[in-house]
Amino acid sequence: MRGHWYGARCVPLEQEEVRLWEDSLVQPELSEQRLREFERIFYPRTIAVVGASSNAFKMGSLWVKGLITAGFKGAVYPVNPGGGEVFGLKIYPDLRSITGPVDLVVCCIPRTLILGLLDDCAAKGIGAIHVFTAGFRETGDPEWIGVEQEMARRARTGGFRIIGPNCVGACCPEHGIPFGPSTLLGRVGSAGFISQSGGHAAKLMGIATTRHIGLSKVVSTGDCCDLDSADFLEYLSADPKTSVVGLYLEELRDSPRLLRVMAAASRKKPIVAWKGGRTLAGARAASSHIGALAASAAVWSAALKQAGAVEVQGLDELADTLLLFQRVGRMERSNLGIVCGLTDGGGGEAVLTADACAALGVNVTPFTKRARRQLLGLLGQVGSVLVNPLDVSQRSGDLQAFEKAMELVAAEPQIDVIVVYENADLLVKFMTKEVADLVNAVIVRVAREQSKPVIVVSPPGSSDEERLDIEYALSEAGIPVYPSMERAAKAIANVNRYYRRQAMPEKACQSR
């Protein structure tokens, strides 16, 4: 039996629906049939691109090129009534003429031809169709809203699923499926991302590549005439290759169902949600973008909290939080030990980092008396800040002293996370590149030789090329790097809040 069908429903989120009763929080495991359904989307054996042509610069042809270049592991079938070849592949006149099964169809044809293509999809027995074509519900035109509803009906009777319309579709780096008609693939990893905006999904993938966030699956959902964010979240919550899920939402046709799915999913793994359209201007843009309905920011925040999701306020915070969940994982306490002043300016850096943490409720716990005595013997009293944050600038360039200071901070039993504030501008100005590289080698060594996570804050400045080189080397070594203490502290607070909530008794958690 197929899963719930929501193609023709439009259920707004109301204030009273924020309350999620205990019986509605229980979400059954996905059936084997449902899992297989999504396997044909993210791990298809074959993909047909309808709208490809012998013109290599047409959108459909670019989709074919992207699959070939990205290393898709299955067969690609271009489809166009004009026939011919593209990139060495035969172009089939229609879907039915392809010999053998087709798991996934990518649709890049005019909207006037969509319904006929869906009949071919039913006859061919495909698994799913991704409709890249736009111009349906988001136009507000009753005729095309009706066509979108008919698309959902034909998919239901034809036994296949629809991604979209008006979306960039699914991406699976592990399986060589790039994001859209491009070679954008991302690093293989364990973070999933579901987005109603293709642009936001592409930008997140770019950030993920730069900051070494590994991706399992990414999907742009668009108008959601059939499969919606709740369906994909249900799948990713059961996907063993996904450890954390990011969500960008504008509005859903069945918001209560999304919240029920989210509540069940957040018990298994972290769900990081960014809600767009929170302001009146944003809501108008969302309505124009995907034909979405609006709900107040306060209602959404309450609903996301009730469902156990981590709410973030933008793409940077989303990426920051995904990075920390992926690299650090479980963090039920977040007492920081901060090391700054790797060259000069340590006093000001100590104040800056302490203030940023205090503003976000992240604890910078004092060192023990024993640690302060040891640090005094190591660094000396004149010009040093021996509380937490720790200023090591009086022994600048002394790698042994820096390493010992890091080890003393890591040994403090009340400290859970070590943060190093590294100012690339000063590092490059006062040290040779060789010494600067050795400083970062110390950070990597300390991170590997003890169990507490190490995070680096490296703010942008005039020496940005050198800073990016440093960030790349640290990221390659598995150390999360943030451009400001405020962003690092916010990510730490988000991760800590999720795991503290997870550790709470069930009824206490539901009442919060």
Percent of the chain with pLDDT over 90: 74
Annotation: CATH topology of 336-500: Rossmann fold (3.40.50)
Q: Which amino acid is at 211?
A: R
Answer whether residue 143 shows pLDDT above 70: yes
**Nearest C-alpha neighbor of 406 from the set 479, 468, 463, 498:** 479
Mean pLDDT, rounded, for 225-229: 95
What's the pLDDT at 474? 96
More confident call, 464 vs 293: 464
In this predicted structure, what is the pLDDT of residue 309? 97
The answer to whether the beta carbons of residues 49 and 76 sit under 8 Å apart is yes
pTM listed for this prediction: 0.89
Asked which of 237-241, 348-352, 428-432 is least confident by mean pLDDT, the reply is 428-432
Q: Is 169-327 in the same CATH topology as 15-163? A: yes
Which tens digits make up the pLDDT trace of 60-93? 999 999 999 999 989 999 999 999 999 999 999 9
Give the separation between CA 401 and CA 378, rounded to whole angstroms: 7
In tens, the pLDDT along 371-408 reads: 999 999 998 865 556 789 999 988 888 999 999 999 99
Tell me the three-class secondary structure of 188-242, residue by residue.
EEEEEEEECCHHHHHHHHHHHHHHCCCEEEEEECCCCCCCCHHHHHHHHHHCCCC
Q: Residue 344 above 80 pLDDT?
A: no
436 pLDDT above the threshold of 50 = yes
Provide the residue ranges of all domains of the chain, joining segments of one domain with +.
15-163, 169-327, 336-500
pLDDT at 282 over 50: no
What is the distance, to the nearest Å, from the Cα of residue 125 to the centroid of all Cα atoms in its chain? 32
Which CATH class name applies to 169-327? alpha beta
CATH 3.40.50.300 fits 15-163, yes or no: no
The mean pLDDT of 41-52, rounded to a whole number, is 98
pLDDT tens track for 474-490: 999 999 999 999 999 99
Cα–Cα dist 470/391, whole Å:
21
pLDDT higher than threshold 70 for residue 28: no
pLDDT, tens digit (0-9, with 9 covering 90-100), for 84-124: 999 999 999 999 999 999 999 999 999 999 999 999 999 99
Do 215 and 186 touch, CB atoms closer than 8 A? yes
Mean predicted confidence (pLDDT) in 183-190: 94
Averaged pLDDT, 437-448: 95
* Contact yes or no for 96/76 (Cβ under 8 A): no
Predicted confidence band of residue 22 (pLDDT cuts 50, 70, 90): very low
* Rounded mean pLDDT, 296-314: 90
Is the pLDDT confidence value at 425 over 60?
Answer: yes
Task: Return the pLDDT at 93.
Answer: 97
Cis omega (within 30 of 0) for bond into 78: no
Q: Tens of pLDDT along 309-318? A: 999 999 999 9
What is the tens place of the pLDDT at every residue in 239-281? 999 999 999 998 767 888 999 999 999 999 999 999 986 555 5
- The dihedral built from the CA positions of residue 343, 348, 350 and 354, taken in this order, carries a sign that is negative
